[in-house]
Amino acid sequence: MITDHWPLFGLRLRTPRLELRLPDLDDLARLGDVAAAGVHDPAVMPFVAPWTHTTPEERARNTIKWQWTQWGRWSPGDWALQLVVVAGDEVIGTQDMGARDFATARIVGTGSWLGLAHQGRGYGTEMRAAVLDLAFTGLGAELATSEAFEDNAASYAVSRKLGYADNGTEWHVVRGERVPGRRLVLDRPAWAAARTTEVKITGLEPCLPLFGL
């Protein structure tokens, strides 16, 4: 079985409405469909790398290719866990969590996107809560970081709800324009104080060496 060689395929994060898992090929096809259908208003760009600024076909293909590249570059000292988010039987988006030198630094960063049809239902909060539980409860993290552009009110609202504090400004050039991003940080006490989502983690123990633990 694939989990004998790559146990991350057996890792599951479950919340009251969602399951997060490493995608199989069918999941990737459905994630590509979600990306093709649209991730945000075309008038704005919420990502530093404007990967959505292309045709639906290219968005789908690039989404799948990105997942494959992250599988191939994984190492215990530099990893990026790319999970599909499933509501019922439907893939609705992706949630990632990554770190470098995690065994020593104990810091993770997160990122995510949802298909347009699934936004505004509280899924963004629930899926980030799932990976934060993996980070702090499962892996022993001490800090989690995030960032959102100043006009990305939805992402910023999720961070504030989950206990993050402002941590300065980062400047980016996106589609030829200088854009400010809000940096955010969440420590263990703030996470514990704001934690309200029940998260069940299964299949983690055989994965620990892959996280450098």
Spatial CB neighbours of 124, under 8 Å, sequence gap ≥ 6 = 112, 114, 154, 155, 158
Give pLDDT, residue 58: 92
Give pLDDT, residue 115: 92
Percent helix, percent strand, percent coil in the chain, to nearest 5: 40, 30, 30
The percentage of the chain sitting over the pLDDT mark of 70, rounded to a whole number, equals: 93
* pLDDT mean across residues, the chain: 91
pLDDT of residue 41 exceeding 70 = no
Largest CA distance in the chain: 48
**Rounded (5°) CA angle 98-20-164:** 50
Phi, psi dihedrals of residue 176, rounded to the nearest 5° = 80, 10
Q: Between these two residues, 176 and 211, which has the higher pLDDT value?
A: 211
Whole-prediction pTM: 0.92
pLDDT tens string 118-171:
988 999 999 999 999 999 999 999 999 998 777 677 778 888 899 999 888 877
**Rounded (5°) CA angle 123-127-130:** 145
Give pLDDT, residue 170: 75
